[in-house]
Amino acid sequence: GGKQYKVEQGHNIKIEKLEAKQGDEVVFDNVLLLHKENDLKIGAPLVADAKVIGKVLQQFKGEKQIIFKYKPKKRYKKKNGHRQNYTLVKISQI
């Protein structure tokens, strides 16, 4: 959450996990800027009546991030890993 994405129709975007199943349609209605050919609309803060429709292609996990904590001379070390969940969405309509 809390991220902004530049999208185009027909493109795929990787976003943080959405609670949607594969094949579901998702609607993003918080559009900040809309640009079509020679028409540019800037929201204040959002563009009215603008939405982006996409289809969930898959749910997957990203690469493993290693977290290693170490304190010298104290025999303390701790190693953890984390894999972020992502959703791949194909933008079908703007």
pTM of the complete model: 0.74
At residue 68, φ and ψ (nearest 5 deg) are: -125, 120
With vertex at residue 57, the alpha carbon angle to CA 11 and CA 15, rounded to the nearest 5 degrees, is: 65
List Cα–Cα distances, 25 to 21, 72, 82, 93, in angstroms. 9, 51, 28, 11
Task: For the chain, 94 residues long, give each residue's pLDDT as a single digit of tens.
Answer: 688 888 888 899 999 988 888 888 999 888 888 888 888 888 888 888 888 999 999 999 999 999 999 999 999 999 999 999 999 999 998 8
Q: Any idea where the domains of the chain sit in the sequence? A: 12-93
Q: H-type helices in the chain, by residue range?
A: none
